[in-house]
Amino acid sequence: MAMILLRLKKISHPCLNQFKTLFLQLELKIRKMNKNITIIDKEYQKWIKDLSSRYRRSQIKAAVKVNQEMLAFYWSLGRDIVEMHVEDRWGEKVIDNISIDLKTVMPDVSGLTRRNIYYCKQFYLLYSDYNKIVPQVVAQNKEEIVPQVVAQNKEEIVPQVVAQIQKLLFSVPWGHHRLLIDKCLGNPKKALFYLQQTVSNGWSRDMLLNFLSTDLYERQGKALNNFTATLPSETSDLAKEITKDPYNFAFAGITGKYNERKLKDALLHNITKFLIELGTGFAYVGKEYRLQIEDKEKFIDLLFYNLKLSCYVVIEVKIGEFDFQDAGQLGGYVVACNHLLRKEGRDNPTIGLLICKEKNKTLAQYALESSSQPIAISDYELSKLYPEKVEGTMPTIEELEAKLSVEDEGENSDSVNDDNKSE
């Protein structure tokens, strides 16, 4: 367009004046159109993106608010059933009547089945005994609650504590609560542990069910360690919390004979599940990680970095029973990492974690006391272990045949002995 106008300007024939004018008008329109398109690209699209983000945030807030209000109603319904002694006053079948009558009054409302109303009652019963729950702030996260059963007087419970627990209760979807009611009824400390983990880690219901099935509550922070003696007080408790005992390596899929290399390869082949089992905050650095110490080379089984602790974590995996030299080797790797990898001001002291097939607790404790480096010792399991034969279970066909053959041999032997006696 610009080239055409340039050529037209050089021509001074009167007949072309009208064409010049038309082309100039057309050029102005195109420039104006291009300018509008530029505004749309930079401003309009940015505004649309901002609107969509605000809408999503409002949807999330609305969903959270609806969930909180629904849980508050379920809590109040369960409280009424318990505190008003509803079943004592109107009979054990009263929950059926409650469901029918509420559906009659509110036919379009879901969640009023007999089963769900029963869950409301259990929901209240599980957490209502605040007089037995005193929260303890853990490590540096002041919102993290690990309850301890101690007091017996409701007046002693600080209102802020109740508010904290209620906030935690009403932050988790109802489907999660139903799982916890099924698995943790009568154990509010365990249930609150899983609630806190769900909120902190954003667990879905399937993830919660998975960790319930792996007995995470019983394993979390249970590894033998010397962190109290070797780490600053502000990090030792948090360091304990990142350990487990035992570690569940069933996801590795190993069923037959194996060596350490096969186990480590299987763990890394399932790295996502391995990281989930290790816990939140672990980042994979390397396998058989090489440390150059003057003219010597040393290789760490598995090296991780924990973002919560801001430190390297050396993991050694042993397929046999723990022995003293294992702790010595791990301690050496920890010291080497501090010298070669740790950056002052960025990283906290390196931690060592030894995961072995089995350990003698007394032997392990002696090793921990002898070490000046922060290390922990845990077992691992490849699958849930069951007794080879439980008395009272059905015998196999092979066992029956073997038993019958033994009995037949016994009868034949007895008959021979009887014949000999008669002779």
Which of the four pLDDT bands, split at 50, 70 and 90, describes residue 161?
Answer: low
Q: Is the pLDDT of residue 2 over 60?
A: no
Instruction: Tell me the residue type at 177.
Output: H
- CA dist 364 and 359 (Å) reads 7
User: pTM for the complete prediction?
Assistant: 0.67
Which residue, among 325, 324, 333, 282, has the nearest Cα to 306 in the 3D structure? 282
- CA dist 171 and 165 (Å) reads 10
Give me 317's structure tokens: 């995996």
- Tell me if the bond preceding 246 is cis, omega within 30° of 0: yes
- CA dist 40 and 52 (Å) reads 16
Which of the four pLDDT bands, split at 50, 70 and 90, describes residue 201?
Answer: confident
For the chain, give every domain's residue range. Answer: 62-219, 224-381
Which of the four pLDDT bands, split at 50, 70 and 90, describes residue 288?
Answer: very high
| Strand spans (E) along 364-417 | 375-381
Spatial CB neighbours of 277, under 8 Å, sequence gap ≥ 6: 214, 244, 247, 248, 249, 251
Higher pLDDT, 48 or 89: 89
Spatial CB neighbours of 352, under 8 Å, sequence gap ≥ 6: 313, 314, 315, 316, 330, 331, 333, 334, 373, 374, 375, 376
- CA dist 396 and 398 (Å) reads 5
pLDDT tens per residue, range 315-355: 999 999 999 999 999 999 999 999 999 999 999 999 999 99
- Regarding beta strands 351-358 and 375-381, do their DSSP bridges make them parallel or antiparallel, or are they unpaired? parallel
Give me 79's structure tokens: 């409280």
Which residue, among 220, 235, 154, has the nearest Cα to 190 in the 3D structure? 220
pLDDT of residue 391: 40
pLDDT tens per residue, range 214-239: 899 999 999 999 999 999 988 899 99
Spatial CB neighbours of 217, under 8 Å, sequence gap ≥ 6: 190, 193, 194
- CA dist 383 and 365 (Å) reads 26
| Strand spans (E) along 43-200 | 133-138, 141-149
Domain covering 224-381, topology: Trna Endonuclease; Chain: A, domain 1 (3.40.1350)
pLDDT of residue 143: 43
- CA dist 25 and 12 (Å) reads 19
Q: Is the pLDDT of residue 30 over 80?
A: no
- CA dist 297 and 266 (Å) reads 25
Q: In whole angstroms, how far apart are CA 324 and each of 87, 229, 320, 328, 368? A: 61, 19, 13, 7, 9
